Structure 1
Amino acid sequence: MISLIVRSYEGETDLQSISDLLKACEAVDKLNQEASVCELRQASDDPSLDKGRDVRLWEDPEGKLIGIGHLEISTSDEIVNGFLSCRVHPSARSGNLERQIIAWGEERMRQVQQDLGVGVKLSTAARDDKAGFIALLESSGFKSERYLLTMRRSLKEPIPEPHLPANFTLRQVRDQQDAEAWVEMHNQSFIDTWNHHKLTVEHYKYLRSHPTYRPDLDLVAIAPDGTFAACCKCIINLESNTRNGHNEGWIDELGTRRGFRRIGLGRAMLLFGMRQLQAAGIDIAKLSVDFNNPNGALQLYESVGFHKLYTWISYIKDV
């Protein structure tokens, strides 16, 4: 049996090796999860990431990176969720490295449980056409929990005219000035959706420091009394588009605050967002939606021309 080197993430010096590993995985898996050194550097600046404990690297005896485990841990809820990303070099998938990474994720979440004294769960996701990885997860004790559709829509086709309810206004988000009001709206908009975790002002500011952030794609609807009622934030990752030969943007966040639903805000904000992407020269809009979203999001997207591209299955395990 080959003895692997298991170690913690060491920062900048590891970024190129991680990027090379993701590139090798992408060549086989086609999951659109490749990342450059610049993108990885930005992700490592996430204030919620414990760099020393939430990332683990596996190397072969020659020091080549062949596996990585990464946890996104939400600590703002009564039950703490750790979302595990597991990537293994295609040449190293004949052994049990994937199981080692899963075991590390479970142990890390047990540490969180001891530190915080709360219940914890470990989650991950698999695209529905990856039968091998699905079988691994199920044999490791994971249970399917939710189905998330990735949808697309051509922006070369006509986009209906958006209409806000009477006396509502639309404007771009003013980054720092709007932070507290926007975060409150976000939390009230998604409080009753699956796997919602409370957003903090600190994380709001981190997300808007990302190189892909554009104020012209960050829209908010204001009610007559000044309340932030709905939002649509889109992103365009030019680096990813260049790398993959795409010209696409994402409806990254679309939400309507409780008390302002069923009056057409969601549809209007979606159409405004699509038009902003179109104005930026984008050909394809994509988004992700929970198949069982309780507020009719799937039906809304289908009504304006989005169709399913593929499905991701969310898996969960109590640890």
Structure 2
Amino acid sequence: MHLADRLDLPEPYRARAYRGREDHLAMTAVLAAYREVLGEQQVPTVEELDIGYAHLDDCDPETDVYVLEHGAGDVVGYGRASFEDLEHEGRNVRDCIVFAPTMPDHLHRPLFDAAVAGQEAHMRMWAAGVDDARFRAYASHPGPGLPATGEAAWLEDHGYVATEWEASLVRPDLDDIPDRSLPDGVELRPVTTDQIRTVLEAHFEAFRGEWDFKEATENDYAEMIDDPYRDESLWKIAWAGDTVVGQVKSYIRTDENAERGSLRGYTENIAVHHDWRNRGIAGALLAMSLRELRDRGMTEASLGVDTNNPGGAFQLYTGLGFELEAYSAVYTRPVG
């Protein structure tokens, strides 16, 4: 059964099957507007959707993706049901992910409830026979300890609980970047093409033990390699012998900067080898990355962080001059 057929939508909305890349322009506009409401930094592009939908795991676009139309056929949203098998707190967990970005003018409760109910009903087939399965969704939130608003409050009405917190941080200038050194035995090396797979393998392995860790697939590698903003000349990769022990894989979204009239770079994809943590590697690489962005003409930097990161990443980044811009919450509830 197609996901679109499971939605009990209020008039005059209707859901139809996804038509492939011809839908990506309209879907990109929806996602951009939706992200702006959520306080997220990055403006999506059609090319990114092309690449992302070409490398989907555990989601069949022919049955698990719908496009939401209003009135005469205006695209005002879409939905995608998918799942991830995680290693979470020493157990195997299947997260069934609710995702329904919607144009802000159409983001109201009856439509939201229909999207959540329809996606949950569709994904129950993936939870059948799985001992530990959850529904998972994301929503903008005022912050830990504060009452939920908007979609976050609606999710709580559906029985979801905020289990993780993510924050968008920005460094509003690239002045006074501190000097931080790599520890003895660790060196920075420029990235060669034949090293990219090794760096990405180290990236994925560094997140083993995090709440959302899953084994990387070939689609995961392909999506990162095909990323249109990948620029390894910006990467700061630390090595100890033949082992990648730390990395910051920065990038610059030139089209986004042109649209916004900004000069922002992203110091993202920060990872440190488990055996090399708490030695100052992440701080040193991040400081180097900030200077690199400044030397490339950028005037600000941004990154996202899990505020519950056991390595104290949130405190490290704010200590390097990053400021909180927005919170979002990861919501889950057991599949009952």
| 1:217 partner letter | L
Paired residue secondary structure (1:259):
helix
**Could you tell me which residue of structure 2 aligns to residue 136 of structure 1?**
154
CA contact (8 A) 2:76 2:103 kept: yes
Structure 2 unaligned spans of 5+: 1-9, 143-147
CA contact (8 A) 1:248 1:286 kept: yes
| 1:157 partner letter | D
Name the stretch that deviates more: 169-178 or 134-143: 169-178
| Distance 1:12-1:248 versus aligned 2 partners, 3 A rule | same
Paired residue secondary structure (1:2):
coil
Cα drift, residue 28 of structure 1: 6.2
* Cα displacement string for residues 205-254 of structure 1 (whole angstroms, at most 9, x for unaligned residues): 32121111101122321113x11111111122222222233221222111
Name the stretch that deviates more: 233-242 or 207-216: 233-242
**Could you tell me which residue of structure 1 aligns to residue 177 of structure 2?**
159
CA contact (8 A) 1:183 1:201 kept: no
Q: Report 1:61-80 matches (<5 A).
A: 61-71=71-81, 73-75=83-85, 77=87, 78-80=92-94
Paired residue secondary structure (2:61):
coil
2:212 to 180, 195, 200: 195
CA contact (8 A) 2:15 2:67 kept: yes
* Cα displacement string for residues 133-158 of structure 1 (whole angstroms, at most 9, x for unaligned residues): 12211111211112212111134312
1:18 to 18, 24, 27: 27
Q: Report 1:213-252 matches (<5 A).
A: 213-224=230-241, 226-252=242-268
Paired residue secondary structure (2:274):
coil
| Distance 1:26-1:215 versus aligned 2 partners, 3 A rule | closer
Percent of counterpart pairs with the same letter?
A: 25
Structure 1 ranges of 4+ moved more than 6 A: 26-29
| Distance 1:205-1:91 versus aligned 2 partners, 3 A rule | closer
Paired residue secondary structure (1:141):
coil
Q: TM-score, normalised by structure 2?
A: 0.83
Structure 1 unaligned spans of 5+: none
Please tell me whether residue 124 in structure 1 is matched to residue 137 in structure 2: yes
| 2:97 partner letter | F
| Distance 1:72-1:240 versus aligned 2 partners, 3 A rule | farther
**Could you tell me which residue of structure 1 aligns to residue 5 of structure 2?**
none
| Distance 1:160-1:39 versus aligned 2 partners, 3 A rule | same
Name the stretch that deviates more: 90-99 or 242-251: 90-99
1:277 to 278, 293, 301: 293
**Could you tell me which residue of structure 1 aligns to residue 63 of structure 2?**
53
CA contact (8 A) 2:40 2:168 kept: no
| Distance 1:166-1:274 versus aligned 2 partners, 3 A rule | same
For the residues of structure 2 that align with 1:121 and 1:79, how far apart are their CA atoms? 7
Name the stretch that deviates more: 77-86 or 230-239: 77-86
Cα drift, residue 195 of structure 1: 1.9
Paired residue secondary structure (1:217):
coil
Q: Report 1:305-316 matches (<5 A).
A: 305-316=321-332
| 2:120 partner letter | E
For the residues of structure 1 that align with 2:186 and 2:36, how far apart are their CA atoms? 47
| Distance 1:106-1:175 versus aligned 2 partners, 3 A rule | farther
Q: CA RMSD in A?
A: 2.6
CA contact (8 A) 2:168 2:324 kept: yes
